[in-house]
Amino acid sequence: MRLRVDLVLEVTERDQLTDAALRRIKDDEFMPEEERAHARAAVREDEAEALAYLVEPFQLVGEVPGVELVQASWSSERSAYDPDVDAWHLDEEDFDEEDADEEDADEEGGTGARARPL
């Protein structure tokens, strides 16, 4: 069974995130200089890129018994968080419907299950 976990993060201090990623890039002794220049530009432009240089997915789940990291990818999109908007709330009914649809897809040769955020 493969599970997908989505995280929603709020960047509260963009400059701190960017600065930390730039330090990580500077300290990476194995990164070629051409790649380093590209990495610096990407980190300054996109918070998801900065996060990708700071968070190692294997470190997040590498020690979890019975779990093997198959793939890790990053993407980002800007969204305005409003706690009163229903789209930001997961309730059991929504999850049960999605989970049932995923299980039906599995039985029909689909892609796998989806993990519900905690």
Residue 37 included in any domain: yes
Residue 99 included in any domain: no
CB within 8 Å of 48: residues ≥ 6 apart: 74, 75, 76
- Its domain, for residue 75, covers 1-82
Would you state the pLDDT for residue 66? 93
Would you state the pLDDT for residue 90? 63
Separation of alpha carbons 107 and 89, rounded Å: 28
Residue 62 included in any domain: yes
Per-residue pLDDT reduced to its tens digit, 89-106: 665 454 545 544 444 444
Residue 98 included in any domain: no
Per-residue pLDDT reduced to its tens digit, 46-96: 998 999 899 888 888 888 999 998 888 777 777 777 777 776 666 545 454
Domain count, the chain: 1
Location of structure tokens 């009163």: 84
Per-residue pLDDT reduced to its tens digit, 10-28: 889 999 999 999 999 999 9
Residue 63 included in any domain: yes
Question: Rounded to whole angstroms, what are the CA distances from 103 to 80, 94, 97, 98?
Answer: 31, 14, 10, 9
Task: Indicate whether this model's pTM tops 0.75.
Answer: no
